Amino acid sequence: MTEILERVGFEGRIPPATRAVEHPAWPVLKGAVERIRPWQSKDGSIDLAAEGAPAREEAVHAVETVVTAVGELSALLPHDAEYHRALAADLRAWADGGFGVPDFLDSLLAFQPAADRRDGLQHLVVFPMYTQNGNPDRNLEAVVLRMVWPEWLAELERTRYDNPLFCGITFEDFTAGYDTNSAVLFPETIAVREAPERFSWGGIFCDREAARFRRVTEAAVGILGIELPEDVAAMVHDQKRCEEAFVLWDMVHDRTHSHGDLPFDPFMIKQRQPFWMYGLEELRCDLTAFREAVKLAGEGVPQARDVQYAILFDRMFRFPVTGERVRNYDGLGGQLLFAYLHKHDVLRWTDNTLRVDWERAPQVTNQLCAEIEKLYRDGIDRPKLVHWFAGYELVSGYLAPHPGSRWAKGPDALDLGLPPRKLVDDVLPDEFPLSMFYEALSKKLKNVIASTRGITRESEERIAA
C-alpha cells in the first residue's frame, strides 16, 4: 500500500489553461449574480414592489445574462452539460414565476459531482443558497471549483474509507456568499420545493481549510512559544501538504457520522438536543480520523502524520476561539480536547509557554476517543435524557460549567415532567465558558482569525508574493 500511496500531490489534474474563470463569460456571470443578490429577500425571492427593487425587466435581463454566460462556460465543462441545461430552465422558471421563492430542485438533482471525482475536474455551480458559516440568506451564488481526488486518496476511499458521496474541492472563484468563513458546499443549503429523498454529494473546500489552519496555527505557535518538531513546522508552512491532510481528515470525518455504535438518533437526523451532544459528535468524528491517521502513519502513508497535527492544532487553537459563544459546539469540542490533554499531562502551560509531549499525544488523544465511543455504546441502552446527562458528566469532568447552570446541579434542578426537548431551554447559551487561558488566547488571536474570512490558496499565494 505504501508504494501506491506515495505522495503524488495533485499531479494529473486537467490542464489549468482551460480554467473557466479565465473565460470572458465568467466576470459577466459573476457581475450579474452580484447584481441580483442585493435584490433578494432572506428566502431568495425578489419583491418587485419593494422600495429599491428592480423593475421586472431589469431583473429578467440580469437572469438572462446569467443564463447566457452559463451557456458559454458550459462548453468548457461538458460533464456538467445536463446540470447547466436544468439550471437555465430553473433560472427562467424563477423569472417567469415573478421571482417568488426559488425552486432549483431539478438542477440540484442534475448536479452529480460525486459521480466523477477526477482530480482537477472543474465545475461551475450556480444556485440560490445559504453558505454555512457564511451568508444565512438564500441568495443566488456562483462558484467555480475543482475536484481534489489524487490517486492516493481515491485508493484509500476504495479500500479503507468508503465514502462515495464525499467531494474534496478547491476554490477557483466565487461570489459574495463565499467571501466569508464558509468552507463547504452542501446540497441541503439550496432552495428547493422539497428535500430530495437523499442527498448524493457533499463538498469540503480543503484549500480554505488549509490556508485558515496555517495562518491561525502559525500565530498561535508564536504566541504560545510552542517548539514544533521540524517536520511539523515544515507542514505548517506548506499549503499543498496541508490541503492533502485536510482532504483526508474530512473524508474520514464525514463518513464517521454514520459509522460506529450510534445511539438511536444519530447526529445527522434533525433533532433538538443540548449543544454539548453536537460537540461530542463532531469531536468523535475528528478523533476517529485522528485514530485512523495514527494507523495509516504506521503503515507508511505520508499524509497521515500531517492529519494528526492538523486535527490537534485546529481543534485546540482555532475552534475554541472562533465564532460566538452561543451554543458553539465546535468550540466546546476544542476546549474539551485541550483540557483532556492538559489533565493527562500531554500539555503544560508553564512560564507562559505551552509545552507538548509529542510522544504521548497520539496515545492520550486516542484515549479520549475511546471515552466518547463508550458513551455512545452505552447510550444505546439509555433513555434520551439519561444519555444527555451522561454526555454532560463526561464534558464537565474536564470543563467547568457556568456557575449559574441548572444542568450542572443535576436532575433535581430540572422539571423532569417536561419532554426532553423542552429541557434544552434550560441549557445556558454558553454552558461551558472559556477558561482564563482561552480568554487570553482569544484576545491575541482575534484579529488573525478575522483575517481568514474569504481566504483561499490563491489569496495566500498573492500575499506571500
Q: What is the pLDDT along the chain (465 residues), one digit of tens a residue?
A: 333 333 333 333 444 448 999 999 999 999 999 999 999 999 999 999 998 899 999 999 999 999 999 999 999 999 999 999 999 999 999 999 999 999 999 999 999 999 999 999 999 999 999 999 999 999 999 999 999 999 999 999 999 999 999 999 999 999 999 999 999 999 999 999 999 988 889 999 999 999 999 999 999 999 999 999 999 999 999 999 999 999 999 999 999 998 999 876 555 456 789 999 999 999 999 999 999 999 999 999 999 999 999 999 999 999 999 999 999 999 999 999 999 999 999 999 999 999 999 999 999 999 999 999 999 999 999 999 999 999 999 999 999 999 999 999 999 999 999 999 999 999 999 999 999 999 999 999 999 999 999 999 887 776 665
Question: Residue 349's CB: how many other CB atoms inside 10 A?
Answer: 12
Name the grid cell of 2. Answer: 505504501
Query: What span, in angstroms and rounded, lies between the C-alpha atoms of 420 and 414?
Result: 10
Q: Write down the residue that cell numbers 460566538 correspond to.
A: 324
- Best CA proximity match to 73, nearest among 15, 26, 118: 26
Query: What span, in angstroms and rounded, lies between the C-alpha atoms of 250 and 310?
Result: 11
Query: What span, in angstroms and rounded, lies between the C-alpha atoms of 225 and 339?
Result: 19
In the 8-state DSSP scheme, what is residue 164? T
Residues paired with 124 in a beta bridge = 144
Query: What span, in angstroms and rounded, lies between the C-alpha atoms of 206 and 311?
Result: 13
Collapsing DSSP to helix, strand or coil, 131 comes out as coil
Question: Residue 344's CB: how many other CB atoms inside 10 A?
Answer: 17
In DSSP notation, 234-288 reads HHHT-HHHHHHHHHHHHHHHHHHTTSSS--SS-TTS-----HHHHHHHHHHHHHH
- C-alpha radius of gyration, the chain, whole number: 23
- Amino acid code (one letter) for 123: H
Name the grid cell of 301. Answer: 502513508
Spatial neighbors of 233 by CB under 8 A, at least 6 apart, are: none
C-beta of residue 366 within 8 angstroms of C-beta of residue 287: yes
In the 8-state DSSP scheme, what is residue 192? -
Upper half-sphere CA count for residue 185 (Cβ side, 13 Å):
33
Upper half-sphere CA count for residue 57 (Cβ side, 13 Å):
0
Query: What span, in angstroms and rounded, lies between the C-alpha atoms of 184 and 117?
Result: 16
Query: What span, in angstroms and rounded, lies between the C-alpha atoms of 426 and 412?
Result: 13
Distinct helix (H) and strand (E) counts, the chain = 16, 7
Query: What span, in angstroms and rounded, lies between the C-alpha atoms of 128 and 17?
Result: 29
Res 3: pLDDT? 36
For residue 19, CA distances in Å to 27, 67, 122, 176, 281 come to 13, 19, 8, 20, 38
For residue 112, CA distances in Å to 179, 180, 184, 216, 310 come to 24, 25, 16, 34, 29
Query: What span, in angstroms and rounded, lies between the C-alpha atoms of 326 and 318?
Result: 16
Question: Residue 436's CB: how many other CB atoms inside 10 A?
Answer: 8
25 — phi, psi (to 5°)? -75, -25
Spatial neighbors of 462 by CB under 8 A, at least 6 apart, are: none
* Strand 202-205, strand 166-174: pairing: parallel
Question: Residue 73's CB: how many other CB atoms inside 10 A?
Answer: 24
For residue 342, CA distances in Å to 319, 339, 347, 400, 435 come to 17, 5, 5, 14, 12
Residues paired with 140 in a beta bridge = 128
End-to-end CA distance of the chain: 37
- Best CA proximity match to 77, nearest among 146, 11, 147, 20: 20
Query: What span, in angstroms and rounded, lies between the C-alpha atoms of 288 and 369?
Result: 7
Cα 458–chain centre separation = 19
